Amino acid sequence: MHHHHHHIPIEQDDALRAKDIYRVTIWGGVVNVLLIIIKFLAGFFGRSSAMIADAVHSFSDFITDVIVLLFVKISNKPADADHAYGHGKYETLATTFVGVILLGVGLMLAYEGAIKIVRVMQGEILPCPEKVALWAALASIALKEITYQFTARVGKKINSQAVIANAWHHRSDAFSSIGTGLGIAGAILLGDKWTVLDPIAAVVVSIFIIVAAVKIIKQALDELLEKSLDETVQNEIRTIVEQDKDVSELHHLRTRRVGNHYAIEMHLRMPGATTLYEAHAHSMQLELKLKQHFGAHTHVGIHIEPTKINGKYSNPEDCPC
């Protein structure tokens, strides 16, 4: 969570982050386009409906690559007159879209698999797929798991939900190919009765995909709906602020996420006799400490009030001390 590279100027930091996102996402896109072609041909010539479904999955995966690229471009625009808090939420919106597409893919796979299973139970025999479809499935598993690994690694490194969500898309494609591979291998090795392994595997896989999608969507929506940061983070903020002996009664602490950064606002009290100059020095100090802890992009808003004596604000000049 904590950024340890404060010596890099902020603009450059953001530019590097965008570069990382572009790099992994474009590689992911290249892998996807290759797989769409391979799977579609293998499914068509190898008579495997699961392989065709798999091609569709890779296609949805490619769409999410495009979404991530478009939105990250917008997210990394610096704050401007119309977006004083920067454009971080665009990345979150992209994450939401990616999650929704993933959910759609999961539900579609589950539905199609279920229909086929019902047909088999009614006595229909699914066509037996050819070996070419099996090779395509194996190639897809290998390529996609590798793509998942390097995409997830970058996503965690730069703390980007959109990239992590996209990595899950790659992995869901690998899962779906495992299912397809099992079904095809089962049918080839065990004979026609076992082609039902194909749709069964598809349904199992789709459950994984649906669970991942729901998690991704929930996280993104929490941010879009201004959910506060969790308790532990709020307590960390309190601890940092309360180290300052002149500050009392931290109240109205408000926190939220903006893209991959935190926004923190609070009210503090200081003795009424504190000069404006000193009060400002204190709040600058606190702002600095919070930014060191939570990253240079943290948005900090501090509102200072005089301490109350007997429940009222009192003018230090009237004080009989």
Instruction: Choose the final residue of a domain: 168, 190, 224.
Output: 224
pLDDT in tens, 177-194: 887 888 788 877 887 777
Using N-to-C axis directions, what is the helix angle for 161-190 and 10-45, rounded to 10°? 20
On whether both 278 and 218 belong to a single domain, the answer is no
Looking at the domain assignment, is residue 196 inside a domain?
Answer: yes
On whether both 114 and 140 belong to a single domain, the answer is yes
Q: 306: domain range? A: 231-318
CA distances from 195 to 100, 109, 119, 136, 210 (A): 30, 16, 12, 17, 24
Q: How many CB atoms lie within 10 A of CB 314?
A: 14
On whether both 176 and 289 belong to a single domain, the answer is no
On whether both 38 and 55 belong to a single domain, the answer is yes
Instruction: Choose the final residue of a domain: 194, 224, 254.
Output: 224
Looking at the domain assignment, is residue 5 inside a domain?
Answer: no
On whether both 246 and 216 belong to a single domain, the answer is no
On whether both 51 and 144 belong to a single domain, the answer is yes
Pairing of strands 261-270, 299-306: parallel
Looking at the domain assignment, is residue 2 inside a domain?
Answer: no
CATH number, domain at 212?
1.20.1510.10
On whether both 126 and 254 belong to a single domain, the answer is no
* Rounded Cα–Cα distance for residues 282 and 241 (Å): 10
User: What total number of domains does the chain contain?
Assistant: 2
Looking at the domain assignment, is residue 114 inside a domain?
Answer: yes
Instruction: Choose the final residue of a domain: 162, 189, 224.
Output: 224
Number of H helices, E strands in the chain: 8, 5
- What pLDDT score was predicted for residue 6? 45
Write out residues in the chain with pLDDT < 70, as ranges: 1-12, 75-78, 81, 83-86, 310-311, 314, 316-321
On whether both 98 and 170 belong to a single domain, the answer is yes
On whether both 51 and 189 belong to a single domain, the answer is yes
Looking at the domain assignment, is residue 3 inside a domain?
Answer: no
On whether both 219 and 236 belong to a single domain, the answer is no
On whether both 167 and 79 belong to a single domain, the answer is yes
Task: Report which residue type is found at 105.
Answer: V
Looking at the domain assignment, is residue 4 inside a domain?
Answer: no
In sign, the C-alpha dihedral spanning 100, 167, 67, 133 is negative
Enter the pTM of the model. Answer: 0.66
Task: Report which residue type is found at 150.
Answer: F
Note whether 287 and 302 are within 8 A (CB). yes
Counting Cα atoms < 13 Å in the Cβ hemisphere of 181 gives: 14
CATH number, domain at 313?
3.30.70.1350
On whether both 28 and 174 belong to a single domain, the answer is yes
Buried b (16+ CB within 10 A) or exposed e, 189-222: eeeeebbbbbbbbbbbbbebbbebbeebbebbee
- Mind giving me the DSSP string for 129-197? PPHHHHHHHHHHHHHHHHHHHHHHHHHHHTT-HHHHHHHHHHHHHHHHHHHHHHHHHHHHHH-GGGGGH
